[in-house]
Structure formats: C-alpha cells, structure tokens
Structure 1
Amino acid sequence: MGFSADRPPIHSTAARPLRVLVAEDEAVNRMAALALLRRAGHSVVTVEDGPSAVAAATDPTGDGFDLLLLDLGLPGFDGDEAARRIRRQPRLTGTAPRILMLTATATPDGLARCRACGADGLLTKPLRLDALETALTNSPTNAAPDDGAAFDPNAIAQMRDLLPADRVGALIAKTADTLRQYRTALADAWNGGDPRAAGAMAHKVAGVSGQYGCVALRRAAQALEAALERDGLAGANATAALTRFDEAYDPALAYLDRQTLG
C-alpha cells in the first residue's frame, strides 16, 4: 500500500544493490528478512528497537541507507516515532532514505499512524520480495492472496531455499517456542483485564505466524487484534475472536513441530 506518489522509484534489483536498515524486534522475523534481502543482493543492517533504528539511520560516520524497513511496534519507541525522528534530521534533507513500515495487521489505527509519521508506504508481514519491489517502484502494494488455507508451505520452502537445513530447523523450533510464550502472555493479559497488552500480543502472533506459513493462526490473530482495538475485552466479538484464535493455535504449533523434522 503506497502512501507517496512523488518520491522517485528505487530500482532494487541485485544489479543495483541497496543499503537497507531493518528494524524488527522479533528475532525469527529479523533473521528471515536478513536472509531474503541478502539473497536479493542487498547490504543489510538489522536493529531491534526504535532508538537503535534512529541512531543507525542518522549516524554521521556511516554510509547511510537507501531504504529503512521499520516495524510499527518496536521496543524503546514505536516505528512511527522512529520515522518521525529520522525525518527531522537536518543532515538527511535532500538525501532522505525511503521508509516503509512493516506491520502484521493493517488496522485503521495502524494505517493512520503510518500515514502520519512521514513513511512512504506500508508492507504487511510476512515480508515478500515481490511486494517490496512493487512498493519501491511506487506501485500499489498488495498482500499475498489468501485462499483460505490453514498453512502456506511456500513460506518455509522459500526459507529452505535460502538457508542451510539445520538453520531453518532451528528457526522453526524457535518460532514454535516463541508462539507458545506469546499464547501464555496473551492469556495473562486477557485474564488481567488488559486489552491493550492482549492486542499487542495478538499483533506479535500475527507477525511471527505469518512469516512461517501459519496463515490460519495469522488470520485469527489479526481478527482478535481488530476486535480488541474496537471493543476491548467486552462483548461477544472479542470473545468469539479469542475462541477462533485458540482453535487455530494447536494446529499451528503441530505444523511447525512437523516442519522441524522435515
């Protein structure tokens, strides 16, 4: 989804490698993005939080970046705040990098934040090279088609093409462990009456599960986040969304566990 139509396109083929900064707090997503972008021929630096993103993007001793990929929800301060601080730097005037926000769930609130922070566009996770290429040429960016299937085997197949088998297995196992931890944290937030924290965990689940092909869980997490943003913990919508979320969780974990044996 493009925001700016007046920025010149970036021709991001391997023949014209880009200097890319990726700000992503989820280790499994960060490593996947690193592998994808390097495979496409780009030079990549990764950071894990908002302050580090601003420091790297505005470092006067560095070579600078052509492209910043900033996760909307970052520790320290969010990606949209990082984008605002980067845009305010005088030394970047006239040579400002392209900024694309990354988000697992394009809620109305998230879209508004991305538009207001000075970003050039938005990419919905999981990160896909074709969607990135489209965004950089100022064409409309669309998420991958959703055919209603529970799983997308192409997500992990692509990783197996890019990385050694043992590394892929380790990433998948770490992803399953991460999702188990997030499920517990979301339940604690729900039971503690904290819809904001529950919604934040649903957002994290959507990002991680989508990157590794668990699309039914991603859909359920996106729906739960939207219901919590709209209605809080009260009402039938949030309760029904939580039920669908729980129903999708065990099949997703079983799928990932099977992939570690593949």
Structure 2
Amino acid sequence: MPADQMGVAHPLHILLAEDETVTRLATRVLLERAGHRVVAVENGPAAVAAAAGKSFDLILMDLGLPDLPGDEAVRAIRQQPNGAAPRILILTASATTQGHGRCDGCGADGILVKPLRLDILSAALDGGSPAASAAIEPAFEPAFDEDAIATMREMLPATRAAELIGKAAAVLRRHGQVLDEALKAGDVATAGTMAHKIAGVSGQYGCLALRRAARALEGELERPDADPAHRAEELAGTLAPALEFLERSAACQG
C-alpha cells in the first residue's frame, strides 16, 4: 500500500524502543507515515525514563535492548505511578521458547514478531492475539520480499532510502562477521545475540531466506546439546545473496 494511503483513524502516541539503528529508523518511518506520533529510544533505561516523563498510548519494546533488556524495562515501567496505563507490546525478531518465556509475566500485553506490520499491530490493538498471529509461518516464503524495498522507497526520498538500505547491508555484514567469530570461539551467547540481530534486520529489509536461517540458528543455540554447524552453514549460504540484494537495491534509486 502506498505510504500516503496508510493513515489510521485513531493516531497514537507511541514509544518505540529499538537498539538496532536501521530497524529503528525504518519502523519509525512506517509508524509516522501511518499517522502516529513516535518517540524513539535505543536502550532499556531510556525507555523507562521516557515512559516516566510522558504519557503514551502504546509502547513497542524490543526484547533484546542493551543495558536493560526489554522484559526488565517493562517490569520497571509497570512499577511507575502511571505504569498500568500504556499498552505494551514486546517486539522480537524470533519466536523461540526462551523468548516467549521471558515475556510471560513481565507485564507486557503481547508479543509481535519483527518486522512490524501495521495490519498485525492493528489486530493486536483491536484485541487480537499478537503472539499467535505473528508466529504463523507461511507455507511458502520467497528468498526476498521486493515489496519491503518498494515500501521503503515510497516512504522516503530516493537518496535517503538508498542510504538506509546500504546501511542495512553494512550492519548485516558486520553482524555476520561477529557471529562467525563467536561460533569459532564457542561463544554461544554472543552467537545467539548476533543471530537474533540478523533475523531482525533481514526481516525488516526483505531478506526472508536469511531471516529464516538466522531464526533457525538462534533456536538451535538455545538447545542444551546445541550443534549449530549445519544451521550456521545455512545462514552463511543465505547471507551473501542477501548482501547482494541489498547492495543492488541501494544502487538502484529509481
């Protein structure tokens, strides 16, 4: 849907807490072009401070925030004098058992799996079950979603869209390098964090095969008897085509 046709009947004042810059910028633009007012922060303490200082209709809280994780930030907000008021939805790049377990009981009203989609958000705000609807995987999903790039171009000036897409490619390349180093060193925690970040960015920018591979690797790394070699190889095989897709998209500004 063209950006100028995504208006909503009831604009909201939204707090968006997301640490990944390219994901935060893209999500903010999407929400603002839909007619919402957005305050964006990049870590847990900033989210808690913003919630204490202003009144929001909705808080979108990334689970994997630095300094204070999203679930802990939700608990802190709920303890504030006005903490019972805002609707809070957790954003996460994956739907793993461990992730859902962290969200249960933290005080959030539901979970949305990235990338954020306005139809899923609207359903959640209308009383739907965001965790259930977001966790459904399609029977067939292509390697790339050209519409994600087209939407970016509709929402932003051509040069700005190209810059953001190019930055997403650079972020994915860097995360891939850190992931590879962590796996070689046997650092499961860092590897899991990088797989999670790759899933979030790749989904936002239409690299669906890479998102699937990253989510599969993250799930494997949660297992006590994790043997991530096959999943890591699968991710590596999808990363290079994803980078080519993004770099080609960034170069084509038309």
Q: TM-score, normalised by structure 2?
A: 0.92
The answer on 1:128 being equivalent to 2:117 is yes
Find the aligned partners of 1:145 and 1:188 in 2 and give their Cα distance: 30
Q: Is the 8 A contact 2:110 2:129 kept in 1?
A: no
1:36 corresponds to which letter in structure 2? L
Corresponding residue for residue 42 of structure 2: 48
Q: Is the 8 A contact 2:16 2:40 kept in 1?
A: yes
Percent of aligned positions that are identical? 54
Shift of 1:92: 3.3
Moved over 3 A (4+): 143-146
The answer on 1:29 being equivalent to 2:20 is no
Shift of 1:145: 5.5
Corresponding residue for residue 18 of structure 1: 12
The answer on 1:149 being equivalent to 2:139 is no
1:72-127 Cα distance to aligned partner (Å, 9 max, x none):
0001110000000000112334xx10000000001001011112211001100001
Shift of 1:14: 2.8
The residue matched to 1:14 in structure 2 has which SS? coil
Partner of residue 176 from structure 1, selected from 169, 181, 187? 169
Partner of residue 109 from structure 1, selected from 98, 102, 108? 98
Find the aligned partners of 2:190 and 2:22 in 1 and give their Cα distance: 21
1:36-81 Cα distance to aligned partner (Å, 9 max, x none):
111111110000000000000011xx3x100000000001110000
Shift of 1:221: 0.2
Query: Unmatched 5+ residue regions in structure 2?
Result: 1-6
The residue matched to 1:106 in structure 2 has which SS? coil
The residue matched to 1:91 in structure 2 has which SS? coil
> C-alpha root-mean-square deviation of aligned residues, in Å?
1.5
The residue matched to 1:75 in structure 2 has which SS? coil
Find the aligned partners of 1:46 and 1:156 in 2 and give their Cα distance: 22
Find the aligned partners of 2:40 and 2:60 in 1 and give their Cα distance: 10
Find the aligned partners of 2:180 and 2:251 in 1 and give their Cα distance: 29
User: Structure 2 matches for 1:74-85, cutoff 5 A?
Assistant: 74-85=65-76
Corresponding residue for residue 99 of structure 1: 88
The answer on 1:70 being equivalent to 2:64 is no
Corresponding residue for residue 8 of structure 1: none
The residue matched to 2:68 in structure 1 has which SS? coil
1:111-148 Cα distance to aligned partner (Å, 9 max, x none):
11112211001100001111110111111332375323
Aligned pair count reads: 243
Find the aligned partners of 2:57 and 2:141 in 1 and give their Cα distance: 36
Partner of residue 138 from structure 1, selected from 97, 115, 127? 127
Q: TM-score, normalised by structure 1?
A: 0.89
Shift of 1:166: 0.7
2:190 corresponds to which letter in structure 1? A
Partner of residue 250 from structure 1, selected from 228, 233, 240? 240
Corresponding residue for residue 203 of structure 1: 196
